[in-house]
Amino acid sequence: MSLSSRLRRALPRPTRRRVVSGSVVLVLVAGLVGWAVWPDRPGWTSADERITVKTGPAGAESVDLDARLYLPRDRGGKVPAVLLAHGFGGTKESVSDNAEELADRGYAVLTWTAQGFGRSGGQIHLDSPDYEVRDAQGLLDWLAARPEIQLDAAGDPRVGVVGGSYGGALALLLAGQDARVDAIVPSITWNDLTNVFLQQSADTSATGVFKKGWAGLYFGNGAASLLPDAPEPADSDPACGRFAADVCAAYLQLATSGTADAKTLEVLRKSSPATVLDQIKAPTLLIQGAVDTLFPLSEGDANAKGIAATGTPVKVAWFTGGHDGGAGPQTDQDRVKYLTVQWLDHYLKGEGGTPSDDFTYSRVAGFSALDRGLVTNGYSTEEYPGLGGTGSTQVSLSGPAQPVANPPNGNPAALSSLPGAGSRLSELLGGGVAADIPGQHATFESTPVAGAIDVAGAPTVRLRAASPTGEATLFVKLYDVDEAGAETLSAGLIAPVRLTGLPTSIEQAQPVTVTLPAIVRRIDTGHTVRVVVATSDQAFLTPAKPAVYTVQVESAITLPTVVGTPIANPQTVWRWVLGGLLLVIALGLAVVLLVRRRLRRRRHDETIEEYAETPLVVRGLRKAYADGFVAVEEISFAVQRGQVVGLLGPNGAGKTTTLRVLMGLTMPTAGDALVFGHRLMPGAPILSRVGALVEGPGFLPHLSGLENLKAYWRATGRPAADAHFDEALEIAGLGDSVHRKTRKYSHGMRQRLAIAQAMLGLPELLVLDEPTDGLDPPQIAEMRRVLKRYATDGRAVLVSSHLLAEVEQTCTHAVVVNKGRIVASGPVEDIVGESPSVQIEVSDVPAASLILEELGVRSVTPDGVSGLIVDMNGTSRSEAVASLVRAGVDVDRVVPRRRLEDAFLALVGDNSRGSGDR
């Protein structure tokens, strides 16, 4: 076997590509090593399958699953198999890249779309043992009958199960239900759904706090999961989409009351791996994300302890990613892939020694402008320490007992994270999305720490609370505050606490221990630790009735610590394979990397002259999430000076996701966006030339409208004279109301103030998401004039709206998006196109109607006092006008009748469903 062939076998696929390409450069630099050319064709084949399995209780039902089988080309006999499961809302396509990598390593890989999603039949049962798990057992039967698959016994394939999130829970539940599974690698998944969606962080018997943000996102995603040609379930309930009736009822009951009844608990518990951990005998590699407000590290910890208690081999790895952090930095991705391949190779192929049970983890080491993302440091310890760490540090806190107000109906609410994005933003922007509401939180703070603290685990504090109602829902947060006062809420993680049986006096309150979510973070020397206790959070359901609680945090917080050994980046595994290659090769590689980094730096700093005068250019934009959900497939368009461009599409088409990427609120998976020739990234200086209103207005309720505008402008650090407050206030049209506190504003008033804020400084590019939301007809008409005026003097506007009539009257150009792709773009009149019907204004409506009907038109419909709508049915307009004039009927106007709405429906269909915004 050639050296390059051995490398391809030894390394995960992305690593191999970097090694091979880097080595080719080294050949040119050092002239010392020869490499084989990368094969022209992939090392695998694939075929789509339609597999019918028995499902439901006792297997009494049948369901068709949309599947795909990948086989390695060079098998040399039968091969072990991998069942590769996708995340919630995904399909078999979501995991195609991973499937190709595993097939390239010699595995038969079966991917499938879980029932209730995509083109598979059935309904969503949340990984129910009676349905999705039984489906997977049917897939094991199918694999056992394939001649290419290695068997351990008749009907028993040699098989591993790999999956993330929804697919990770499936791997655990299947291994607990079917002894044929030989190894599993579940990642970023749950242990107990009752704890996930009713989270309780205190040592109390009270039920948890409903995690409404994530629950609503998942329910909405599943309810709209149909593809255009996917089978529609019989007698489907529009309120439930493709969810099974019991799952739908459980969500509706929980979301309505905030607590779970017995039936809801039964549904959640049935779909929880916690119920089968003592039956799992398959060696388990558990991978959990430290940037995950949905399934935090505690879920993986519970799974690890439950499986290890039976004596089953378990290895745990944490990485800097998750449902909020995505796949994590490239170094983490490589490490996770390496561990996965090592695990499967040993337990399925019998290759390599038994993987050690050491624990590996990583933490954020900084932000790399060169790689446009986070960088991490990896560490390992000899064994998994759990959430308590291998040591601990107590940090003293100070602060008196403090009153905190619970707002009515949880509004306004503090912000800790945005499901699927907010925690990532906190890391990128230094805690950028976290915000506490004045009067609704208490603060307890330490003095600057004397030495750096490497936190790795779940901190704990002691809390006392008093309430006039005897109950309180609180949210405890740990902030890392630097010397300049900037605070970071690590990964957006918070501890919800529901307390009952409380006294009315804080002096009578008994302390409870609150366990905060586990984090991996270095608190540097000179930083302070701040513990905040809040009464509301947008991610959770809080009591509807207003109340004032009193809270007190005891004198110290306990921070678990781990002293780990730094580990090599798995990108360098190839060096171990090559062994004693000459030092000059490494030096040559260093030269190449240095040149590459300099080129990257130059690339990011440079202005692309071709687009230097173009307000916005979007090139090949794609956004996919860690669980396989694709919000934007591929979008490219430009906004020129003087244009008002409308971004149109059905709900879920990807409009808001596109705007969030353009504002630097989330990172694209591929492609980029240029503003006046500069690439957009979080914090890019070019953003100062952009004004935006995306995802609704947000103002400090205790400040007036004018004070909010001035506070916003001060935060930009730009001179007050550049703000153009007079022009902004004229645009807002709030009159004297601009001096009222914004908590008294109606929705329409807040919307107008938000638009004025976006226009502060008269930015050259204005990006607005649904700017007319909440405005009355006169205000909408005025907004139409404002946007047209604004796109003068070289400025440009991009506006997303579902009001097609307004777009038609306001915008010069339109971009129509459907299912994450552009289906039409250009001037509005070009998209509207030719019309089969016309509007005719005449002097004599009855006479004109008779004359036109004699010409053979399809229909004539009165339109107002002097107008007719005429479906021409092939008759030319000139012939119609000539006939009317000859008959003595005056014709005042003839215009095409087709509207933008007609063109829009023709492009996307009136029942189109997109891939879903996040």
List pLDDT tens digits, range 266-299.
Answer: 999 999 999 999 999 999 999 999 999 999 999 9
Average the pLDDT over each of 160-174, 268-282, 571-585 and give the range with the smallest value.
571-585
- Rounded Cα distance, 164 and 336, in Å: 12
Q: Please indicate, yes or no, if residue 112 is contained in any of the structural domains.
A: yes
Same domain, 396 and 357: no
Same domain, 59 and 119: yes
CATH label of the domain that carries residue 178: 3.40.50.1820
Do residues 754 and 697 touch, judged by C-beta distance below 8 A? yes
Could you give the number of structural domains in the chain? 6
Do residues 429 and 682 touch, judged by C-beta distance below 8 A? yes
Residue where a domain terminates, one of 270, 286, 307? 270
Same domain, 223 and 131: no
List pLDDT tens digits, range 480-504.
Answer: 999 988 888 988 899 999 999 999 9
Same domain, 360 and 503: no
Same domain, 181 and 314: yes
Q: Please indicate, yes or no, if residue 580 is contained in any of the structural domains.
A: no
Q: Please indicate, yes or no, if residue 570 is contained in any of the structural domains.
A: no
Do residues 113 and 67 touch, judged by C-beta distance below 8 A? yes
Residue where a domain terminates, one of 340, 362, 388? 388
Q: What is the dihedral of CA 353, 354, 356, 357, to 10 degrees?
A: 170
Same domain, 711 and 643: yes
What is the pTM (predicted TM-score) of this model? Answer: 0.62
CATH label of the domain that carries residue 763: 3.40.50.300
- Return the pLDDT at 909: 59
CATH label of the domain that carries residue 458: 2.60.120.260
Same domain, 25 and 86: no
Pick the closest to residue 263 from 247, 283, 282 (CA basis).
247
- Rounded Cα distance, 365 and 505, in Å: 45
For residue 904, what pLDDT band results from cuts at 50, 70 and 90?
Answer: low
Same domain, 512 and 426: yes
User: In Å, what is the CA distance from 415 to each residue of 441, 458, 698?
Assistant: 12, 21, 11
Same domain, 799 and 772: yes
- Rounded Cα distance, 651 and 756, in Å: 26
Residue where a domain terminates, one of 781, 813, 831? 831
Sheet holding 61-72, edge to edge: 44-55, 61-72, 108-112, 81-85, 159-164, 183-187, 284-289, 314-319, 359-368, 373-381, 565-566
Q: Please indicate, yes or no, if residue 671 is contained in any of the structural domains.
A: yes
Q: Please indicate, yes or no, if residue 913 is contained in any of the structural domains.
A: no
Range of the domain at 239: 210-270
Same domain, 231 and 118: no
Q: Please indicate, yes or no, if residue 578 is contained in any of the structural domains.
A: no
Cα 697 vs. chain centroid, distance in angstroms? 21
Do residues 222 and 88 touch, judged by C-beta distance below 8 A? yes
Beta strand 373-381 pairing with 565-566 = antiparallel
Q: Please indicate, yes or no, if residue 905 is contained in any of the structural domains.
A: no
The two structure tokens encoding residue 800: 């997303």
Same domain, 377 and 489: no
DSSP character for 86?
P
Do residues 163 and 187 touch, judged by C-beta distance below 8 A? yes
- Rounded Cα distance, 115 and 66, in Å: 9
Average the pLDDT over each of 180-189, 305-314, 589-598, 823-832 and give the range with the smallest value.
589-598
Q: Please indicate, yes or no, if residue 572 is contained in any of the structural domains.
A: no
- Which residues of 211-274 form beta strands (DSSP E)? none
Rg (CA), the chain: 30
The two structure tokens encoding residue 675: 């503003």
Answer whether residue 441 shows pLDDT above 60.
yes
β-bridge partners, 460? 515, 558
Phi, psi of 280 (to 5 degrees): -85, 120
Mean pLDDT within 157-174: 97
Answer whether residue 16 shows pLDDT above 50.
no
Same domain, 252 and 302: no
- Rounded Cα distance, 424 and 40, in Å: 38
- Rounded Cα distance, 700 and 358, in Å: 48
Beta strand 487-489 pairing with 630-639 = unpaired
